[in-house]
Amino acid sequence: MNTKVLLAVFKRNLGAYFTSPLGYVFICVFVLLSAFAAFWSEDFFNTNLANLDQLNKVFPLIMLVFVPAITMSIWADERRQGTDELLLTIPAGDFDIVLGKYLAAVVIYTISLLFSAVCNAAVLGWLGDPDRGLFMGASLGYWLVGLAMLAIGMVASFLTSNLTVAFILGAMFNAPLVFAAKADLLFTGHLVQAVRHWSIGEQFRTFGRGILTFSGLVYFLGTVAVMLYLSMILIGRRHLRTGQGMVANHVFYPVLHLLWAGSFVTFWLFLRSQVDETGLLVVLGAAYPVLHLGLLWAWSTLERSAQAGRAFSLLPWVHATVLAAFAFGAALAQWYARQTDTNELSWWRPV
C-alpha cells in the first residue's frame, strides 16, 4: 500500500468537495431533512419519548438522496475533466486509488452526520432526557448505513462520466436494499421474510434500539468490502488484454469475480444455519473474505510475476466452484426441509 498516494487522493477529493458551495448546501440540506424527519411528525410528541424513532423509519430514504450527491463526482468528475488517465498512470495500485476516494466520501458523510447528531441531541436534550446509549447506538447505525451506501454509490460513479447519470445510478443501485423492507408488496409467504431480512432498514433496526449485533456489522462492512472490490475491478479493466482474449477478459472474467460476492453470501448463510457457537461462527465467517481480500491486496500492490498472475487467475474459478457447491447444498437443504417438515436447514431464517 502506497500511503502517500492514498493520502494525496484522499486530500484531493476532500478538498474538491468543500471548495464548492454546493458541498455546504448538501450538508445543510441533510441536517434539515434529518431534523424534519425526527421532530416534525406528531407521533414524536404523542409517544412522549426523547428518541429518534421517527427518523429511524425514514433514514434509509433520506440517504437514498444524500449518498448519490456525495458519490456522483468521485469518478465521473475525473472522467469529465479528463484527469482519470493521469490519475491511473501514477505509481500506485488500484487499491490505493479506490480507498483514498472512498475515505474522502466517508469523511464528508461523517462530518454531515456529526452536525446532524449535534442538532438532534440538542433538541432531544431541550425537550426531555434522552437515553445516551440508545442515541449512540442509533448514531452508529446511521454511520454504518452510510458506509455501505457510499460504497455502492461509488461503484455507480465508476460507470459514467456524466454527473447526473452518476447520481441516478447511485440512487438506483441503492434502491433495492432500501425498498427490500417493503417486500410484502411484491412477495408472499416465507419469501417476504427472506427478502426483508437483507434490507438496510431491517439490519439497521436493532441499532435503532441501541443494540449492536454481529450480523448487522457483517452485513454493512461486508457490503463495503464487496463494493470496494467491484470498484477495483472497474478500475482494473485497463490491465486486461485486448484482441483475441477481449471477450473472455472483459465479460467472462468480471462475471466470475462477481460470483465471489454470491459465494460469500451463500457461505455465510450456511454458517448461520449450521454453527451454533458464536466464536466459531465469527472465525469461519471472517476467514473467507479476509483470505480473498488479502490475495486481492497482494495482486494489486505487489509485482505481478508470472506465478502470481497464474495464481490469481484461478481465484474466480475457485470461487465459482464454491458458489456452485453451496448453491447445490442450499437447494438440497430446502428440499430436505420440505420433505421432513422442518426448518432446521432453512438458510434464510434469521438468527
What digits encode the pLDDT tens for the residues 285-319?
666 666 666 655 555 555 444 444 555 556 555 65
What backbone torsions phi and psi does residue 77 show, to the nearest 5 degrees? -70, -35
Dist CA 28 CA 31 (whole Å): 5
- The span from the CA of 211 to the CA of 265, in Å, is 23
Q: What is the pLDDT of residue 345?
A: 44
pLDDT band at 95 (very low <50, low <70, confident <90, very high): confident
The pLDDT of residue 348 is 43
Neighbouring residues of 87: CB distance < 8 A, sequence distance ≥ 6:
9, 78, 97
Q: Rounded mean pLDDT of 158-176? A: 87
Q: Is 44 exposed, middle or buried, given 0-12, 13-18 or 19+ CB atoms closer than 10 A? A: buried
Hunting for cell 505481478 — which residue is that?
304
Percent residues over pLDDT 70 in the chain: 63
Question: For residue 304, what pLDDT is reported?
Answer: 47
- Find where cell 406528531 sits: 42
Specify the DSSP element, H or E, that contains 288. helix 278-301
Rounded to an integer, the average pLDDT of 125-152 is 88
Q: What share of the chain is helix, strand, coil (3-state, %, to 5)?
A: 80, 0, 20
Which residue type is seen at 341? Answer: D
Cα–Cα dist 318/5, whole Å = 32
Nearest to 23 by CA among 61, 63, 64, 71: 71
Task: Decide: residue 326, CB within 10 A, 0-12 exposed, 13-18 middle, 19+ buried.
Answer: buried
Angle (nearest 5°) at CA 122 between 119 and 124:
110
Does the reported pTM lie above 0.75?
no
